[in-house]
Chains A and B, each alone.
Chain A
Amino acid sequence: MKRPIAISDSANFYVSAERIFDPTLKNVPVIVLSNNDGCAVARSDEAKALGIKMGEPLHLLQDKIKAHGVRVFSSNYTLYGDISRRVVEVYEDFTPNVEIYSIDECFLDFGGFKDRDKHARAMRREVLRRIGVPVRIGIAPTKTLAKCANDIAKKNPIFGGVLDVTDDALATWLLPMVPVGDIWGIGRKTDAKLQKLGTYTAAELRDMPTKQARAVGSVVLERTVLELQGEACIAFDDIEPQRKGMAVTRSAGTPMKDFDTVFQAVTAHATRAAEKLRQHGLVAGTLTVFFHTNRHRLDRPQYSGSRSTRITPMSSDTFDLVEAARRYAQAAWPKGEGQAFGFTKAGIMLADLIRFEDRPLTLFDVEKPKSAALMSALDQVNNRFGKKTLVLASEGMKRPWQLRSDHRSPRYTTRLTDLPVVR
């Protein structure tokens, strides 16, 4: 018997999270916007029924919003993150192995449970009861098949949110109904190639000779074919893979014209990255700083600057990272004519991450015990009194580079000042 894998996820997760605290959102069209209020990234079923597409820009939606009273929200990642964490806690009561795949999707090890369907239904009921978020669960011997099952369960209410296709007969019956483009890991290009070859459904892809699959779409597609046949190629990770890199990057609410403003944003992002490093007990060896103008506004002068550097000794110290970011942002700054550009994005990327204990010691290691104490004090203050209580002055106070989020709901679950009110 192959080990059954379940994937559980919430359709329209962001909308579901908004609905927990605001009952007026029930049964009405709701959309949640991307970073910077650009376009719709989550839509309630009612919003989908109005023909609002994923990724549709907000400015093209104004007529529909007015005509149908669509409720519009900026993304409230603080809230979604907290709700996501709570959902995972419920999963952990149902299986010893949870692999977080994204903010709203988890792979769950369902090996060893006798009545999987009943177990999954109990889990689904419990998430709804304890958190108030509806989830759908797909169960199969491989991750790719589990994703298919989850997709079918989401689109067809008759399954009541749970579909177990570990039974081969059921998989054989369902796969001809799944379009090839809906399969996990099949991108638009591969989809087009497969259609040209007359492969339209998951069943047809499953029956494609692996050699041919490799020729059409490399090992990735070959692996997908094997997974559709029920052979697990994408392992269930017992241990979270170690992070190899991280990026903190944001679009700016208003274009940044001068170096100081760009550097304020870069300071904030480097500070956040350093915090994340320390949280995971890691140090970084390479830092890239970058900023660029809006690439979609060809009518405006374009510029993109970026520099990478090694950080020696490897570090997770906020001052080290900000200092390196400043030096290299300056080096990448356009000579002489900086004022002509409006930068809409800035960020930093860290690579070459290793555990603090494993970091190579340099020959002339300068011990900075004061800095370690300072960093831990900084983290403690910000943990205890809220994010951004203590910041580097170079981050600035007005933060004009901050995201636009004109419609964000309160941070109901993480801020005393934002608690929902009952009368």
Chain B
Amino acid sequence: MPVFPVETLVIANGMPVRLVANAVSAGFPSPAGDDLEDEIDPISWVVRHPSSTFWWRVEGDCLWDAGIRDGDIIAVDRAGKRRVGRAVLAVVEGAVTAKMLRKRDGRYFLAPANSKESFPDIELTEDSEIWGVIAGVVRRYDLE
């Protein structure tokens, strides 16, 4: 049955009648209605703890082998568990750096992940601090 929108005010006893604003479905219900789901949201898949996750922009390729490149945006979770083999953000001598957390001979190192270029390992001392653990990476490519 066709539905005609009411274009002009409906007057009853000299008073305008308020019309229900919601659309009322009167025909055959949409067969997809029950199967609707939320949109896919990869960001919520990356961000496990919204309150402790902060976004950073990467400059340089020292984590290339870990799939993180110059210009990428990374999510860093301050509450992430510091584990050997994970990519972390660390504060060394007042500068923030993105490195892999490694362990050799009982000592911890901040190591690059780039087999093409060489970056020095930095030993983790009491003065350096791990800012957070990299939780994911977002990259986009040119379209135009």
Are B73 and A419 in contact, CB atoms less than 8 angstroms apart?
A: yes
For residue A7, give the distance in angstroms from its CB to the closest CB of chain B.
Answer: 20
Query: Does A132 sit within 8 A of B, measured CB to CB?
Result: yes
Nearest chain A residue, comparing its CB with the CB of B78: A130
Query: Does A336 sit within 8 A of B, measured CB to CB?
Result: no
Query: Does B122 sit within 8 A of A, measured CB to CB?
Result: no
Cα distance, A367 to B96, chains bound together (Å): 57
Cα distance, A90 to B78, chains bound together (Å): 13
Give the residue of A26, A130, A416 whose beta carbon is less than 8 angstroms from that of B52: A130
For residue B111, give the distance in angstroms from its CB to the closest CB of chain A.
Answer: 15
Indicate the member of A26, A419, A423 with the most B CB atoms within 10 Å.
Answer: A423
Known: A130-B79, A422-B59, A422-B89. A412 touches B54 (CB 8 A): yes
What is the size category of the interface that chain B forms with chain A?
20 to 34
Query: Does B98 sit within 8 A of A, measured CB to CB?
Result: yes
For residue B77, give the distance in angstroms from its CB to the closest CB of chain A.
Answer: 9
For residue B6, give the distance in angstroms from its CB to the closest CB of chain A.
Answer: 12
For residue A49, give the distance in angstroms from its CB to the closest CB of chain B.
Answer: 20
CB-CB < 8 A to A416: which residues of B? 73
The size of the chain A interface, using a CB distance under 8 A, is: 21
Cα distance, A122 to B118, chains bound together (Å): 42
Known: A24-B94, A89-B51. A420 touches B79 (CB 8 A): no
Query: Does B46 sit within 8 A of A, measured CB to CB?
Result: no
Known: A129-B79, A130-B78, A132-B78. A422 touches B51 (CB 8 A): no
Are B59 and A130 in contact, CB atoms less than 8 angstroms apart?
A: no
CB-CB < 8 A to B91: which residues of A? 23
B53-80 CB mask vs A (1 if < 8 Å, else 0) is 0111111101000000000011000110
Are A86 and B52 in contact, CB atoms less than 8 angstroms apart?
A: yes
For residue B122, give the distance in angstroms from its CB to the closest CB of chain A.
Answer: 13
Are B56 and A422 in contact, CB atoms less than 8 angstroms apart?
A: yes
A1-37 CB mask vs B (1 if < 8 Å, else 0) is 0000000000000000000110110100000000000
Indicate the member of B55, B62, B73 with the most A CB atoms within 10 Å.
Answer: B55
Query: Does A298 sit within 8 A of B, measured CB to CB?
Result: no
CB-CB < 8 A to A26: which residues of B? 94
Are B51 and A130 in contact, CB atoms less than 8 angstroms apart?
A: yes
Query: Does B23 sit within 8 A of A, measured CB to CB?
Result: no
Are A420 and B94 in contact, CB atoms less than 8 angstroms apart?
A: no
Known: A89-B50, A131-B51. A422 touches B79 (CB 8 A): no
Cα distance, A155 to B98, chains bound together (Å): 36
For residue B23, give the distance in angstroms from its CB to the closest CB of chain A.
Answer: 14
Known: A23-B91, A129-B79. A421 touches B57 (CB 8 A): yes
CB-CB < 8 A to A376: which residues of B? none
CB-CB < 8 A to A24: which residues of B? 94-95
Within 8 A of B (CB), among A385-422: 412-413, 416, 419-422
Cα distance, A416 to B71, chains bound together (Å): 12
CB-CB < 8 A to A421: which residues of B? 56-59
Indicate the member of A413, A422, A423 with the most B CB atoms within 10 Å.
Answer: A422
Are A422 and B52 in contact, CB atoms less than 8 angstroms apart?
A: no
Nearest chain A residue, comparing its CB with the CB of B50: A89
For residue A384, give the distance in angstroms from its CB to the closest CB of chain B.
Answer: 14
For residue B94, give the distance in angstroms from its CB to the closest CB of chain A.
Answer: 5
Are B97 and A423 in contact, CB atoms less than 8 angstroms apart?
A: yes
Cα distance, A408 to B104, chains bound together (Å): 42
Nearest chain B residue, comparing its CB with the CB of A372: B21
CB-CB < 8 A to B98: which residues of A? 422-423
CB-CB < 8 A to B95: which residues of A? 23-24, 423
CB-CB < 8 A to B62: which residues of A? 423
Nearest chain B residue, comparing its CB with the CB of A85: B51
Query: Does B49 sit within 8 A of A, measured CB to CB?
Result: yes
Within 8 A of B (CB), among A84-103: 86, 89-90
Give the residue of B51, B60, B73 whose beta carbon is less than 8 angstroms from that of A90: B51
Are B78 and A129 in contact, CB atoms less than 8 angstroms apart?
A: yes
Cα distance, A20 to B131, chains bound together (Å): 9
For residue A378, give the distance in angstroms from its CB to the closest CB of chain B.
Answer: 19
Cα distance, A26 to B92, chains bound together (Å): 12
CB-CB < 8 A to B54: which residues of A? 20-21, 412-413, 420
Indicate the member of A24, A130, A416 with the most B CB atoms within 10 Å.
Answer: A130
For residue A8, give the distance in angstroms from its CB to the closest CB of chain B.
Answer: 15
Q: List 20 A-B contacts (CB under 8 A).
A: A23-B91, A23-B95, A24-B94, A86-B51, A90-B51, A129-B52, A129-B78, A130-B52, A130-B79, A131-B51, A412-B54, A419-B55, A419-B56, A420-B56, A420-B57, A421-B56, A421-B57, A421-B58, A422-B74, A423-B98
Given contacts A129-B79, A416-B73, A420-B56, 4 further A-B contacts (CB under 8 A): A23-B91, A26-B94, A86-B52, A132-B78
